[in-house]
């Protein structure tokens, strides 16, 4: 499995990262173990989790994903061979059960990290990420920024200082961001330079054929600041597999089960998906592997976070690392992108 450097750190992470957010909701612990065994045997060394997982978030299941991963690490004894990533949650509706409403203050971050370490059954987290900003800004599909000068939020300086404390204690090796904007990313980097605090190693944002908004303001930062993209939702919640086309809602599929996952179901999203699926079929490619191989091919991507609820899906997703798209296919993808530009931000 190809590896890429995680930011300016000494860690090499595999091009494919195993995402875990279905464990504890759509996947049992036994299925999580099976996924982990297969992924590691295929050469994957990068596993991404979060304190909030599984998704959709519920008080009854919160933390199960990290618990499953921790139990597997304990039983397999492979901790030092792997790069384990997790995330601390920011404020959000419906999360009152998590520290009475999570914030990115020092106390919340330190408490969250200790809880994650306990569930993961490890002494350190290789990459600890801020799951989303404490402030109101453009993430989770929002494009138009509306400034509120009266808004109260945790200053990035306080958040980063707490992360520095975790790094100095040895509980965290490196830090990253998720669902962050260009301004937020550069503010973390500015403060790190001024204060001697840890530098952002990666940015975990959505990126797929239906949502290439990362290219607009973030791709240059990823290159110039060596803070590459950890691409999540590379299949647009499974939409790019083509399984939802023609009015189909497969049983047990994520967007069939959970109404909250509606980001990629617009008319333009469906039309763009049809164009990409047709292109893949014309070139005798799996639509899934074409979509993932495109993400893999981007120079600003450090790792592509794939997830699966079945072993069949997992095998196909991981297999995308062996697919190289021809110049003809890449040119055709750009033509479709010109027709359907950011259909699903």
Displacement of CA 272 from its chain's centroid (Å): 22
Burial class (CB in 10 A: 0-12, 13-18, 19+), 186: middle
26's CB contacts (< 8 A; 6+ apart) are 54, 252, 254, 257, 309
- Give the helix, strand, coil percentages of the chain, each rounded to 5: 40, 15, 45
CB crowding 224-239: b at 16 or more within 10 Å, else e: ebbbbbbbbbbbbbbb
Q: Which of 306, 309, 238 is nearest to 42 (CA)?
A: 306
Q: How far apart are CA 145 and CA 18, in angstroms?
A: 32
The full DSSP string for 119-140 is: HHT-S-EEEEEE-S-SS--S-T
Closest by CA to 95, choosing from 67, 65, 49, 63, is 63
CA atoms of 237 and 253, how far apart (whole Å): 9
Q: Which residues are catalytic?
A: 53
Longest dimension (CA), the chain: 55
Pairing label, strands 12-14, 3-5: antiparallel
Among residues 183, 59, 52, the alpha carbon closest in space to that of 119 is found at: 52
């Amino acid at each position: 499995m190809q590896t890429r450097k995680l930011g300016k750190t000494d860690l090499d992470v595999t091009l494919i990262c195993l995402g875990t957010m279905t464990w504890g909701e759509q996947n049992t612990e036994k299925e999580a173990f099976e996924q982990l065994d297969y992924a590691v045997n295929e050469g994957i060394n990068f596993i991404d989790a979060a304190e909030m997982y599984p998704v959709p978030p519920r008080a009854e299941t919160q933390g199960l994903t990290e618990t499953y991963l921790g139990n597997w690490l304990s039983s397999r004894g492979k901790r030092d061979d792997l790069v384990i990533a997790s995330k601390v949650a920011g404020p959000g509706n419906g999360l009152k059960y998590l520290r009475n409403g999570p914030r990115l203050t020092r106390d919340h971050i330190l408490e969250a990290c200790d809880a994650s370490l306990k569930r993961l059954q490890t002494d350190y987290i290789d990459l600890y990420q801020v799951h989303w900003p404490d402030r109101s800004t453009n993430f989770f599909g929002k494009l138009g920024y509306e400034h509120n000068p009266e808004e109260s939020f945790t200053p990035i300086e306080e958040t980063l200082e707490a992360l520095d404390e975790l790094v100095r204690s040895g509980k965290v090796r490196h830090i990253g961001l998720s669902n962050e904007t260009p301004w937020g990313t550069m503010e973390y980097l500015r403060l790190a330079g001024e204060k001697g605090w840890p530098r952002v190693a990666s940015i975990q944002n959505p990126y797929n054929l239906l949502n290439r908004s990362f290219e607009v303001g973030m791709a240059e930062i990823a290159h110039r600041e060596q803070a590459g993209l950890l691409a999540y939702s590379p299949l647009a919640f499974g939409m790019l597999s083509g399984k939802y086309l023609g009015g189909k809602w497969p049983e047990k599929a994520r967007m069939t089960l959970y109404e909250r996952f509606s980001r990629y179901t617009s008319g333009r999203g469906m039309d763009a998906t049809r164009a990409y699926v047709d292109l893949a079929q014309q070139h005798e490619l799996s639509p899934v592997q074409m979509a993932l191989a495109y993400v893999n091919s981007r120079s600003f991507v450090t790792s592509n976070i794939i997830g699966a609820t079945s072993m069949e899906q997992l095998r196909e997703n991981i297999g995308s690392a062996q697919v190289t798209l021809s110049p003809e296919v890449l040119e055709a993808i750009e033509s479709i992108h010109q027709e359907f530009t950011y259909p699903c931000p």
